[in-house]
Structures are given as structure tokens and as C-alpha cells.
Amino acid sequence: MWGPEMMKTNRKGAVAGMAAKVLGVVILSGCDLEVLNPGRILDEDLNTRELMPIVVSGASAEFNDVVDNYAFTGARLTDDLAGTGSYFTTGKFRRGVFDNEDSDFFWEQTHEAAWAAGEAWERLQGVLEGEANGFDGSARVFLLMGLAHRLLGENFCDVVYDIGPLQPREAAFDSAVVALNQAVTIGMASGANDFVTAAHGGLAQAYVGLGQWSAATEAAARVPTDFEHKAIYHITANNNEIWDESWRRAEVGVWATPVQAAFDGDPRASYTICGEWNDPNRPPDPDLGVTPTGTCAGQGSGAHQGADGLTAHYRQDKYPEAGSDIPVVTGTEMRLIEAEAALLGGDLGTFTKMINEVRAFYGIEPIEAPASAGALEFPNAQDDAWSILDRERYLTMWIEGRRLWDLHRWQHPFLNGGTLIGPGATPRISCMPIPELECTLNPEIQNSSVCT
């Protein structure tokens, strides 16, 4: 089938064969097969003294990443905010239902926040060597580590560390105490006073978790009432999730919460009515619709109604910007810890004094000493010490991701079918379960009660 002019030229064939071999060698060894990208940072490139503040900031970024999610989801699971949105989980969380697939994100992110702080500390030691113990960034990474452990303890029913066995949540508070004491030590050595104060506040929180009220009040006393340590957000770096979900989307609202129903006007829980129910009855008929008040015009889909398209949007104003920071340790919380310790000790005088110190800080009229310790109720009757403490903690730490912990440790009556909109589960969840992923990957707990 070949043309007659063609000749069999074996010499050319040999040349071609050689060319093929050369080609193969060139392709697989001569070519530079490296991935080229100027954007990624290789592990070894970080071992530079000048980069240590950036490594510490990375640990902060990991911690900040999770705090606002606790605040947002915690608000939906409790009576902080009502879910008025479009997410598949809206109705489920509003009912107080939360399973071991829902908890995955929080478990992973919180462990990573603690891990990132630990990894940063290892790098600080490797690069700065002995100077790491006097570096203020070292105090900060231990503060972040301790607060991450505190988050685990406050939010999860049980904890696990290092792919180990199941432990009671107190183990997380123990870990927090160890890390926060280290933060105090290094912070004092490095002159990082704010980190030291924050670490004392974190210790007070952790000791509450351990039920060690004496140690808690001792640590709390080291934190002045006007002190605040916050998880930091920024319009470009990391938006505050609650702001995003209430100002930009209207996934959550204040309507039907205790803030709107009972504590209206408290400066600690400010909100704006973006849409008015056309039906003034309680509960209103959603079919009659919502009329925009115009107050929130131009603020996105939550201008007047929730993302569910039905509920009048009452927008939280505690975090009015994408970059609004979320308190993590505050002096006012310390006073409330002292108040609670006093209440547990039957000292209503000290209790009232601490409550009023907090109220004064926010410019609110003082209260009279309650007549009795009383008991928690839902809705809050506000007439006894426990109801007052419940109210004050609720309002002071509103949408800071702390309410679920209070509901749990108090076994609050809200957990027994309490509801804001629609029915609530009986019981509502009060802590997050160990996630399914941990059960799958951790042989130590695969057969434990939380995984089977």
C-alpha cells in the first residue's frame, strides 16, 4: 500500500528508534515537573524568627473561626435567637434537635484551634528556643489553647483527646486550666498583662466547669469589671457569622425570644424591628404578612422578614458590623461568676452586690436584693435570685455562644420542651454529641455508648 518511490531505509529506522529513546529520557527526566505556584507557603519556610508573630496570628485565626459559629448555632439551639431562616437545619435546631452529624464542624474546628496553638508553640520553641518562654506571643498561644479547651468543655457532652478514650467533659476544663496557667506564667514573664488577665478569666470559666467555685472566684477576682477579651472579626479577614446571618440574610431574629418578649429595652440586647406583623395577635397569623418598617432598608434580604419569607425580622444590633468582635472573657461575666458562687453559698447580699456591679457597668438601675434563692423557670419569672441570675447571665452574655452551657449546667426548664417558634423537643439538647466522624476514626470509642 506504500508508494513505489519509497525505500526501506533501516538506517533511518535506527535513528528514529534512538530519537524515541531520547524523547522518553527528556520527557521524564529533563522536564521540570514541579508544580509552580507563588501562593502557597511551604512548611520549612516558616521557621524564621521574624515570622513568629504571624504564626501566632494564625492560631488566633483558627480560634476566631470557631467562636462566632458557636455564637450563631448556639443562639439557634437556645433561647438567644429564633431561627427564622431558610437553611435545612433551621427548623431542626429551633426544635432543639442536634445530632452527631451536626456536631462535626464544631468538634473539628475546636480541636484544630487547640492543635494550631500547640503547633505554634512547638514552632516557637524550635525557632526562638529558650526565648520562647519570655515571648508574649507564647502567652497568647496558650491563652488561645486554653480557651479552645474551655469551648470543648462547655459545649460537648463528652470529650476525647489524641484519639484516645472517652472522657467526661471535665477533662476539657482540666486541659484548659493547664494551658491557661501556662499563659499566666509566660504572660507575666513577658509583660503581656492583657493576656494574663484574660487567662485568669478563662481559668475562672474553666473552674466553673469543674465545679470548683472557690478557685473560680479567686481567678475571677483578678479580672476588673471593665475588662474585655474578644474574638476578633473583620469585614475582609473573617466576618462575624451572627452579623452575617442577621444583617445580611435574616436567618435568625429576636422576635419571640425573651429579649423581645420580656427584656425589651435592655441595653445589653439591643435590636431593631425591620418588619411589623400585619396581624397584631400573639402568635400572629403569618399568612397576613409583614410590613417593612423601612428602618432596615437596603440591608439585604433581611430588610423586613426572615429568610423563611414568613417571620417579621427583629434584627439583633449587638453586632452591627461584619467586623464586630465577640466577647470571650469579660469582667462582667466574672462578677456574675462571683454572684453565682455567692448564691450557691446562700449569700444573697454579695449576690446582689455583684449583680448590681454588672448592671451599673451597663448603666442599668440596680435591683433590690431578692427575697429568696428560688428556682429557674421558663419563661423567666424574674422574682428570685436564680431567675435574676438567669436573666443577668442571659442578657450579659447574649449571643456570645455561652447560653447552651448555662442551660445544661443548670438543667434549665427550657430544655424540657421549651420553645420560641413552633414545637420544641422534649428534651431539647443541651450539649453537642461526639460526632460520627470521631466514632468512625477513633477505635478507642467505636464501641462506646456515644457511638453505638
Partner 1 sequence: MRLLGFANVPRLAGLTAAFSFAFIGGGGEGVAAQAGTVVGSVRDAVSQAPLPGAQVSIPGTELGGLANNVGRYLVLNVPPGQHTVRVDLIGYGSQELTVTIAAGGAATADFSIRQEALALEGVVVTGTAGQARRREVGNAISQIGSEDIQLTAITDMGDVLQGRTTGIQVNDHSGQVGAASQIRLRGNNSLTAGNNPLIYVDGVRIEGSPLGTDDEGAQTPSALDMINPNDIDRMEVIKGPAATTLYGTEASGGVIQIFTKRGVAGAPAWNFSMEQGVSVMPHQGPSADVNPSGLFLNTCRDPGILNHATGEIGVEEPGCPENNSWFRNAHHQVYNLSVRGGGETATYFVSGQYGDRKGVVDPQGADNYNVRANVSFQPVSGLDIRLNSHYARRNITWIPNGNNASGLYLNVLRGDAGYTPGNDDSLVLENDIFSHLDQYITGLAVYWSPNSLFSHRLNVGIDYTSSDFIDFKGWGFYEEATGDREIDQTFDRNLTFDYSGTFDYDPFSGISSSFSWGGQVYEEFSYGLNGFDELFAGPGEQVLGDGNNPQVFENRVTVRSGGFFVQEVLGFQDKLFLTGGVRWDGFSTFGEGFGIAAYPKFQASYLISDEDWFPVGWAETFKLRAAWGESGKAPGAFDAKRTYEATSADEQVPAVVIANLGNADLGPEVSSEIEYGVDASFFDGRVSVEFTRFDQTTRDALIGVQEAPSGGTEEATLYNLGEVKNWGIESVVNFVPVRTDDLEWHVGVNLTTNDSEITDLGPLEDLGTTRQLGYPLWIQWDDILQNPDAVGELPEYEKGYIGNLFPTQTVGLNTRLTLWHSLTVDVVGESQSGMVRPIGIAYQNVRRRVWPGDGCPGIQDIWYKDGDRSTLTAAEVARCIGPYSDQGVWTDPADFFKIRSASITYRLPEGLVPGARSAQVGISGKNLWTRTDYRGLDPEANDNGFGDATPNEYYNMAPPRVFILNFSVNF
* 112-to-60, 62, 122, 138, 436 alpha-carbon distances in Å: 11, 7, 15, 17, 17
Is 38 an interacting residue with respect to partner 1 (CB under 8 A)? yes
At 31, list the grid cell: 522536564
Query: Closest separation between CB of residue 110 and partner 1, Å?
Result: 9
- Amino acid of residue 288: L
* 169-to-70, 151, 158, 164, 349 alpha-carbon distances in Å: 17, 10, 5, 14, 32
Main-chain dihedrals φ then ψ at residue 277, nearest 5 degrees: -65, 135
Is 2 an interacting residue with respect to partner 1 (CB under 8 A)? yes
Residues numbered 91 to 120 that lie near partner 1 (CB under 8 A) are 91, 95, 104, 107-109, 111-112, 115-116, 118-119
Distance CA 400, CA 103 (A): 18
At 121, list the grid cell: 508553640
- Amino acid of residue 332: T
Is 6 an interacting residue with respect to partner 1 (CB under 8 A)? yes
Query: Closest separation between CB of residue 423 and partner 1, Å?
Result: 8
Main-chain dihedrals φ then ψ at residue 339, nearest 5 degrees: -65, -45
- Considering only 16-24, 255-263, 347-355, 403-411, which stretch makes contact with partner 1 by CB under 8 A? 16-24
Query: Closest separation between CB of residue 20 and partner 1, Å?
Result: 4
User: Under a CB-based contact definition with an 8 Å cutoff, are residues 101 and 107 in contact?
Assistant: no
Find the binder of partner 1 among 27, 344, 360, 375 (CB under 8 A).
Answer: 27
The contact pattern for partner 1, residues 263-282, with x = CB under 8 A and - = no contact, is --------------------
Distance CA 252, CA 243 (A): 10
Find the binder of partner 1 among 41, 129, 282, 349 (CB under 8 A).
Answer: 41
Q: Name the residue among 68, 70, 154, 152 with its Cα closest to residue 115.
A: 152
Query: Closest separation between CB of residue 65 and partner 1, Å?
Result: 8
Which of 140/391 has CB closer to partner 1? Answer: 140
Beta bridge partners of 273: 314
Distance CA 210, CA 173 (A): 7
Q: Which residues contact 37 (CB under 8 A, 6 or more apart)?
A: none
Rg from Cα positions in the chain: 28
Query: H or E stretch including 17?
Result: helix 10-25
Is 312 an interacting residue with respect to partner 1 (CB under 8 A)? no
Distance CA 419, CA 323 (A): 31
Query: Closest separation between CB of residue 169 and partner 1, Å?
Result: 13
Which of 116/334 has CB closer to partner 1? Answer: 116
Residues numbered 145 to 204 that lie near partner 1 (CB under 8 A) are 159-164
Query: Closest separation between CB of residue 26 and partner 1, Å?
Result: 8
**249-278 as b/e: b if 16+ CB within 10 A:** bbbbbbbbbbbbeebeebebbebbbbbbbe
Query: Closest separation between CB of residue 341 and partner 1, Å?
Result: 32
Residues in the chain: 452
Which of 18/371 has CB closer to partner 1? Answer: 18
At 37, list the grid cell: 505556584
Is 310 an interacting residue with respect to partner 1 (CB under 8 A)? yes
Query: Closest separation between CB of residue 149 and partner 1, Å?
Result: 12
At 232, list the grid cell: 476578633
Which of 248/353 has CB closer to partner 1? Answer: 248
The contact pattern for partner 1, residues 346-385, with x = CB under 8 A and - = no contact, is ----------------------------------------
Distance CA 253, CA 301 (A): 13
Which of 364/425 has CB closer to partner 1? Answer: 425
Query: Closest separation between CB of residue 389 and partner 1, Å?
Result: 33
Query: Closest separation between CB of residue 221 and partner 1, Å?
Result: 28
Which of 193/372 has CB closer to partner 1? Answer: 193
> How many chain residues touch partner 1 (CB under 8 A)?
96
Find the binder of partner 1 among 192, 232, 355, 404 (CB under 8 A).
Answer: 232
At 321, list the grid cell: 458590623
Is 447 an interacting residue with respect to partner 1 (CB under 8 A)? no
Is 134 an interacting residue with respect to partner 1 (CB under 8 A)? no
Residues numbered 388 to 427 that lie near partner 1 (CB under 8 A) are 422-423
- Tell me the pairing of strands 228-231 and 290-292: unpaired
- Considering only 296-304, 360-368, 370-378, 384-392, which stretch makes contact with partner 1 by CB under 8 A? 296-304
Residues numbered 47 to 66 that lie near partner 1 (CB under 8 A) are 51, 53-55, 57-58, 60-62, 64
User: Under a CB-based contact definition with an 8 Å cutoff, are residues 142 and 180 in contact?
Assistant: yes
Is 240 an interacting residue with respect to partner 1 (CB under 8 A)? no
